Amino acid sequence: MLSVMRIHSAGKTDVGRVRTVNEDAFLVEPALGLFVVCDGMGGHAAGDLASQTAISVIREHLAASEAKLQAIAKNPNAVQAVAEPLLREAIELASSKVFELGRSGRGKPGMGTTCSALLIVGGKAVIAHVGDSRIYLFRNGEIHQLTEDHTYTQEALRHGLMTPSEAKRSAHRNVLTRAVGPSERVVVDTLVFDVIDRDLFLLCSDGLYGSFEDPQEMLELFHTFQSNSSVDGFAQKLVSLACERGGHDNITALVVYLESVEIAQEHPAASERSNQINLDIETVRHIQLFCDFEMAELLRIRHISQQREYKEGEVIVREGDRSESLFLLISGEVCVHRNGQPIAMLGPGAHFGEMALLSNRPRSATVTARSHARLLVIERPALMALLAQDPVLATKFLWRLAQTLSTRLDDFYIAMDAQRNQNLNDTLLLGLYPLPRRK
């Protein structure tokens, strides 16, 4: 059963203490579950027109599809197929409209805007993003940046051409590589994932987050909000602090807080769902294959995973069969047999089947549930499609996959050596190199 989410939201914007025109714009539409922040491109005339136009087009496109959104709320499986393309289309239409205004003379040539949009529907969040406005998620006492800036310096960081300290000092740190409006077409980044009780989202322009040296400072303010303040007060406090610290740019904060309604009585399954999602994410983030992943990347992995449960004694994988599945053990225990002989017992946090991602050879062992077990199953086509979209994510995963297979090969040779004096899993802790990064 899905939890029923009550949405609390508030948006605040300020021109700041340097600019004379506020080129930021935001949209709060709780009835649609739609929230948007746009930041008109500084230095370009009519940035305010670009941001307001984008907001208007996105709202109109989603409002015209309200019936579809209501249907999705009753069928969460349709979020990926319907809601995600709908939000992407809205931003693409906005880019086309802003571009047309600039070319026609009703605006200014080259005008544009960033755009970060959040859609809450069917127990899921859909994020669509262009530019360097950001969306943060506050969950379980942690803060996570869910969007990646489309800037020159961020691209340089991703490709190892610049260190974080160099990026912070770069004169090009605010140069956008992607925006809504300068071109008729735009590539939109999207992310779909499950929301849970007490999730809080912050959509903001760079005038806000640029005033905080460390996102952890925003997290500390969030803890204060939880105990003493309101959603409106949290948004206002963020904007006020940014102004006090110079207000060098327009400042916008849009806060969205989700609350499950009467979990204990009307929807007892809601708390179980939240606990299950938290457990899934925590387990995946500590698995060797995904230990380098950021929260947004972990959410993508969980989104493409299928949840399966197996009864005690049920066969999960049979020796000699062919499949393309990677298994992540969330709870319970499984026993691994080869040629009828037990060779390993695996518990929560273990994974098996990674060789199926690389070859179509028959399974080399049988895996059986020793107790009731819940697993996340990742099919090769879905994983390959995800990795193909993001070379950096692919590098992280393949680096860890290569290390996992290397250590298992080491273990095989050790097992063949009569003088072996260490446990099979010791090599997972020894001799591994960190993911190559520039410091």
Q: List, in sequence order, every residue forming a beta bridge with 367; answer none if it has no partner.
A: 317, 336
CATH topology of domain 286-428: Jelly Rolls (2.60.120)
Q: Do domains 5-264 and 286-428 have the same CATH topology?
A: no
What pLDDT shows up at residue 93?
A: 98
Rounded Cα distance between 258 and 34, Å, is 13
Looking at domain 5-264, what is its CATH homologous superfamily? PPM-type phosphatase domain (3.60.40.10)
- Please state whether the predicted TM-score (pTM) of the whole model is above 0.85: yes
Residue type, 392: V
Boundaries of every domain in the chain = 5-264, 286-428
**Closest among 252, 168, 268 to 213, alpha carbons compared:** 168
Distances in Å between the Cα of 403 and the Cα atoms of 160, 358, 411 are: 21, 14, 12
| Region for residue 286 given its phi and psi (left: phi exceeds 0; alpha: psi -120 to 50; beta: otherwise) | alpha
User: Are the CB atoms for 414 and 422 separated by under 8 Å?
Assistant: yes
What pLDDT shows up at residue 158?
A: 76
In the chain (439 residues long), the average pLDDT of successive 10-residue segments reads 77 96 96 97 80 98 93 83 94 97 84 97 95 97 96 83 79 86 95 95 97 93 80 96 96 95 55 90 93 95 96 96 94 94 93 88 93 96 93 91 83 61 50 59
What pLDDT shows up at residue 417?
A: 65
What pLDDT shows up at residue 5?
A: 83
What pLDDT shows up at residue 1?
A: 44
For residue 42, the 8-state DSSP code is T
